[in-house]
Amino acid sequence: MADPCIFCRIARGEVPAQMIASNKEIAAFRDLNPQAPVHILIIPKNHIGSLDDTGDSYLLGQMVSLAAAIARQEKISKTGYRTVINTGKDGGQSVDHLHLHLLGGRPMTWPPG
């Protein structure tokens, strides 16, 4: 039976995605349904359901650092950007594989919906 986790399948290259960066532990690819001119997802390659399922501060630090590096690469670091991790039902998480959203290229509003 195919792995039901779409982000695990993207990480393994079984499902196509617009890959931005990839190393042994982390992948970054463009969101299929972008909410801003730049909308990139940064994920651990190993399956972690959500932020509530990990205490791996090294991995989390790598994900945030990669987001900042990609923001510079995408030329949104000067104008600014937002990084978001939706967690669980109330957090609005729809894919149960930890992911960090990198959004930029337009002004963001606050508070989020």
- Under the binding rule (CB under 6 A), the answer on residue 42 touching ligand AMP is no
Site string for ligand AMP, 3-22 (x = CB under 6 A): ---x--------x-x-----
CB 36 within 8 A of CB 86: no
- The pair of structure tokens assigned to 88 is 């669980």
**Interface segment toward ligand AMP; rule CB under 6 A; list 28-36, 52-60, 71-79, 103-111:** 28-36
Q: Does 93 bind ligand AMP (CB under 6 A)?
A: yes
Sheet bearing 26-30, strands edge to edge: 19-22, 26-30, 38-44, 100-104, 81-84
Contacting residues toward ligand AMP, per CB under 6 A: 6, 15, 17, 31-33, 41, 86, 92-95
